[in-house]
Amino acid sequence: MFTSETKVRVRYAETDQMGIVYHGNYFLYFEVARAESIRQMGFTYAEMEKMGIAMPVVDVHVRYLRPALYDDLLTIKTVLKEIPVHHKIEFHHEIFNEQNELLCAGKIILYFMEKNGMKRTVMPEHLRKKLEKYFN
Amino acid sequence: MFTSETKVRVRYAETDQMGIVYHGNYFLYFEVARAESIRQMGFTYAEMEKMGIAMPVVDVHVRYLRPALYDDLLTIKTVLKEIPVHHKIEFHHEIFNEQNELLCAGKIILYFMEKNGMKRTVMPEHLRKKLEKYFN
Amino acid sequence: MFTSETKVRVRYAETDQMGIVYHGNYFLYFEVARAESIRQMGFTYAEMEKMGIAMPVVDVHVRYLRPALYDDLLTIKTVLKEIPVHHKIEFHHEIFNEQNELLCAGKIILYFMEKNGMKRTVMPEHLRKKLEKYFN
Amino acid sequence: MFTSETKVRVRYAETDQMGIVYHGNYFLYFEVARAESIRQMGFTYAEMEKMGIAMPVVDVHVRYLRPALYDDLLTIKTVLKEIPVHHKIEFHHEIFNEQNELLCAGKIILYFMEKNGMKRTVMPEHLRKKLEKYFN
């Protein structure tokens, strides 16, 4: 299992007139958490795109339990329960506020795709090797 | 069953460097579709908030099948399969491009809440009456 | 002089916890207005990009006079005071609410650039001809 | 003179299909920089709102020189050239990339307003005292 933690502070622009973070903006936080997870493995998503691989999101499921508020310093826990097989990778995210309350939980599925032609491909070997360390 | 259709044109800001609409931005389209659905019933979400009722999103599930592109004129089909009971309402959305291809399908669950205190409440009687016509 | 008008309805996501449209979101409205202006000339910005020309924004100046509110149906007036010479084009925008109050006024300067290499270029001849009609 | 520096990493959602940060998203970075500036003075904008003071943006002017790219770690330099008099405060921002190239420069003017009634007011005495240290 691979796990990582990322901190994000809520921006004013991310709130709406309900006085809470707009539900669609949690996807920005999850994206930051995935990018930082990959960076912690010693790789970057930016490098992967330069190698010609894109990772479009194909499925999301999020449950919202408590609102995040302006200026909250959020902790996003990211878990990969298994090494991706084939073209699919599944991230589990949980977001906590500074009182350690669970605000929301999400599952995001992405595909590995070749940028040219957008055909399905697999996780780059380079990244897979870095990831395997966490699953032994 | 209540159904409605709304058109939205993709803005440049809604694309990302993959050249497609960012996955988190579909929630803006769904939100527009819900607001227009309520307007078609002869009511507005803005009026509901003025009456002291907010509708926070509590659960979302979206599957992305094909990308939406800049300047696409999208059609969002919105379906209410049943009149909400208690504090919960469930919207089903499908987005189609101009070639009538299904781009994504989502289910969004919201709660009726009192703005003061954020306690659960039910759909305003006024709106329920307008909605009941579609279910006989 | 070329002038055009575009309508945009304020989305919930575009508000912030001050209960008004976030100042950075007016740039989305200006962008929609520019795209619709070009469409009214019988052309699209999307076509221009396909021809290999991009129009990055290089300078913006906006004054905010009154807030736009959720669900407001805004009217954006767009003016081109002169046919662009060289690589530069200057749009003037004003946004009005349904009470015809001026909410904000902006000037946006963009460049015509070749997408490959990002060198400065000029307005495509095709578009210039359509535009010249408005300046005689 | 008060100066501060803030780091922000570019998110995927902030890019557009031109492969660069969308011009409207720089306002998010400026906002983060202002919030962190105030935090460095030993105060927060969130506290100010709780005291009943809001700071709407009333004027922005930004020049874009070079694009910011996905995953760039940006440095935002923020300068207050003078202690605000009356209801007005003027922030100067410059954004640099990791190669220390200037990407854009902006001036943002905000007003101090009472949240109830949205009347103009002045900087809270508490914050003014913290700020005065930097101007002697």
CA–CA distance, A38 with A30 (Å, rounded to integer): 12
| Distance from the Cα of residue C92 to its chain's centroid | 8
Question: Which among C81, C76, C96 is positioned nearest to C31, based on CA atoms?
Answer: C76
Handedness of CA C32, D8, A62, C24 (dihedral sign): negative
> Does the predicted model carry a pTM greater than 0.95?
yes
Residue to substitute from D12, D17, D69, interface B, most B β-carbons within 10 A:
D17
Nearest residue in B to A110, CA atom? B64
On chain C, the residues whose CB falls within 8 A of the CB of D67 are 56
Digit-coded pLDDT (tens) for B27-74: 999 999 999 999 998 899 999 999 999 999 999 999 999 999 999 999
pLDDT in tens, B20-30: 999 999 999 99
Q: Is the pLDDT of residue A89 over 90?
A: yes
Mean pLDDT of A95-110: 98
Q: What single-letter DSSP state applies at residue C6?
A: E
> Region A31-42: what's the mean pLDDT?
95
Q: What is the number of helices (H) and of strands (E) in chain A?
A: 3, 7
Helix (H) or strand (E) holding D135: none
Confidence band (pLDDT; 50, 70, 90) for D97? very high
Three-state SS annotation for chain B: CEEEEEEEECCHHHECCCCCECHHHHHHHHHHHHHHHHHHCCCCHHHHHHCCEECCEEEEEEEECCCCCCCCEEEEEEEECCCCCCCEEEEEEEEECCCCCEEEEEEEEEECEECCCCCECCCCHHHHHHHHHHHC
Active site residue A16: yes
Among B67, B76, B71, B75, residue whose Cα is nearest residue B108:
B76
Please report the ipTM that was assigned to this predicted complex. 0.96
| Chain D residues closer than 8 Å to B13 by CB | 16, 22, 24-25
How close D136 comes to chain C (CA, Å)? 32
Residues 6 or more apart from D131 whose CB is under 8 A from it? D2, D41, D80, D83, D123
A99 Cβ neighbours under 8 A, 6+ residues apart: none
The closest alpha carbon to C106, from D57, D86, D94, D19, belongs to D57
- What is the DSSP annotation of A47-72? HHHHTTEE--EEEEEEEE-S---TT-
Summarised one tens digit per residue, pLDDT across range D4-51 is 999 999 999 999 999 999 999 999 999 999 999 999 988 999 999 999
Which residues on neighbouring strands pair with residue A53, listed in sequence order?
A114
Residues 52-91 of B with CB under 8 A from D: 70
Q: If you measure CA to CA, which chain D residue comes closest to A45?
A: D71
Tens-digit pLDDT profile for residues B80-136: 999 998 999 999 999 999 999 999 999 999 999 999 888 999 999 988 998 998 997
Do A47 and C42 form a contact (C-beta atoms < 8 A)? Answer: no
For residue B109, give Cα distances in angstroms to B51, B92, C111.
21, 9, 44
Place of tokens 């977001």: A95
Write the residue in A11, A31, A32 that is nearest to D32 by C-beta. A11
B11-15, C20-24, D117-121, range with the lowest pLDDT: D117-121
Beta-carbon neighbour count of residue A26 at 10 Å?
A: 26
C16, C59, C71, C72: the catalytic one is: C16
Question: Each residue of D43-79: pLDDT tens digit?
Answer: 999 999 999 999 999 999 999 999 999 999 999 999 9
Whether residue D45 and residue A11 make contact (CB cut-off 8 A), yes or no, is: no
**Shortest CA distance from A115: residue in chain B:** B18
Q: Which of B55, B56, B35, B91 is nearest to A63 (CA)?
A: B56
pLDDT per residue as tens digits for the range C61-79: 999 999 999 999 999 999 9
**CA C80 centroid distance within chain:** 10
Closest CA to C14 of B12, D110, D22, B28: B28
Domains and their CATH numbers in chain C: 2-135 (3.10.129.10)
Which member of D15, D24, D25 has the closest CB to residue B17?
D15
pLDDT at C136: 78
- Cβ B24 vs Cβ B88: under 8 Å: no
pLDDT, tens digit (0-9, with 9 covering 90-100), for C114-136? 998 889 999 999 889 989 989 97
Chain D contacts of C27, Cβ < 8 Å?
Answer: 23-24, 27
D102 interfaces chain C, CB cutoff of 8 Å: no
Mean pLDDT of chain D: 95
Please report the pLDDT score of residue A116 as a whole number.
87
Q: Which of A57, A71, A91, A98 should one mutate to test binding to chain D, selecting the residue with the greatest count of D CBs within 10 A?
A: A71
pLDDT in the model for residue D116: 87
